[in-house]
Amino acid sequence: MKDAYINAKILDPEKNKEFIGDIIVEKDKIIDVGPNVYKKDKPKSYTNVHDCKNLFISPGLLDMRVSLREPGSEHKESIKSGCKAAFAGGITTVVCLPNTDPVIDNVSVAEYIQKRAKEVSKINLYTYGSLTKNFDGENLCEMGLLSKAGVKGFTDATKSIENSAVLKRALEYSKAFDSLVIQFPEDKNLANDGVMNEGEISTRLGLTGIPSIAEVITIERDLRLVEATSARYHVSCVSTSESVDVIRNAKKKGLKVTCDTSPQYFTLNEMAIEDYRTFVKVSPPLRSEKDRLAIVNGLKDGTIDAIQSDHSPQDEDNKRLPFNHAEKGIIGLETLLPLSLELYHNKSLSLIDVIKKLTKNPADILNLEHGTLTKGSKADLLIFDPNKPFVVDVKKFKSKSKNSPFDKKPSQGKVIKTICSGEVSYAA
């Protein structure tokens, strides 16, 4: 089986190039890519020829922070429904958090999820392992065994490692397996029972606030340990201007630090919570406009390496509660591309830079052979129109949960087709 995707605007994030050309796919591999490569071959040798008519083709997106809820909370999301949602969002590779029930703190749970994914989908699915057993923050998991089982990093998901000695030991051990330690940075004592960003808005709404320093204090402590151990360290869900500054300086010093953010932190600010909208209750919380602009600048100058969805499905019963009691989190797989493309439309980033932060950069951080259009690489492709207007409609989402603050939002950037391992996995 040999397919040709011709007359496409090809975005190659690895070579940092955009050009009009063709991609030739045989079975599950890319066998050629470039201008006019289709014409070099005999037309009869192709099973299918797809005229892309100047649509864009990039590598399939890689989402490095996804909660799939299976096992444990399949009523919110299952591996099957999550993978369908990912394909609809142009995502061909997902890395799921260990916040399942039971937690991914042993090889058997990691293997179960990988096996289950192969049964229900052709998506490239990887998992993280928890850093500590059952997220207790004290007892490290068997990092060596989990690394051999294929986990791509270690994190306690939405919990920060508070014990400095535990984190130092984890960083030291991670070097033996070339593993990545991923921190969700929030000092729990400062965050306390906060439900939104601390400031004028929280005071006016009468809601307990989480100070922005709860994030940066954790990162500053961690970076001291990273410097002492020379380990690889990744900060997830960066949301404050102070954090961007600290990470920028750490990179200048040559520390092995990378970081990511989610679309809500560069598209929304704390004002979205007016009228106690629980669908914008997230963790970390939406911050000030100053912080939002700092996240955009961090993406522009390369301080923030990657964009991920932080897909956190919640059922309606847990969201439609008083703000203090509602669960945190929003879904994001099916809005990851159009929300990220806002950076392109408002001229903050070039189109190739947006795609790079959704493909090659997260792949490099996790040492995954994805996010590339190189000959011989897996045929994971996204065909999209970055300018096509549409209105977000959560009722049409493939995800089981519908907890998105972006419902009814006018957007630009539509997934036309998602190809995974050479096969069409989604078509609009």
Say how many CA atoms lie within 13 Å of 7 toward its Cβ.
6
Question: Which position among 3, 22, 310, 353 bears the catalytic label?
Answer: 310
Strand residue runs (E) in 55-195: 56-59, 61-66, 91-96, 124-127, 181-183
Instruction: Identify the three-state secondary structure at position 40.
Output: coil
What gap in Å lies between CA 276 and CA 202, rounded to an integer? Answer: 10
| Structure token digits, residue 386 | 């970055």
What gap in Å lies between CA 224 and CA 187, rounded to an integer? Answer: 16
Alpha carbon 293 to chain centroid, angstroms: 20
Sign, Cα dihedral of 35, 39, 44, 49: positive
What gap in Å lies between CA 248 and CA 40, rounded to an integer? Answer: 47
Alpha carbon 226 to chain centroid, angstroms: 23
Residue 91 and residue 65 in contact, taking contact as beta carbons nearer than 8 Å: no
Q: By C-alpha distance, which of 329, 320, 321 is closest to 399?
A: 329
What gap in Å lies between CA 289 and CA 294, rounded to an integer? Answer: 9
Say how many CA atoms lie within 13 Å of 203 toward its Cβ.
3
What gap in Å lies between CA 318 and CA 256, rounded to an integer? Answer: 38
What gap in Å lies between CA 34 and CA 356, rounded to an integer? Answer: 19
32 in catalytic set:
no
My answer on whether omega of the bond before 102 falls inside 30° of 0, hence cis, is: yes
Spatial strand order in the sheet of 124-127: 61-66, 91-96, 124-127
DSSP state of 43: G
DSSP state of 395: G
Active site residues: 310
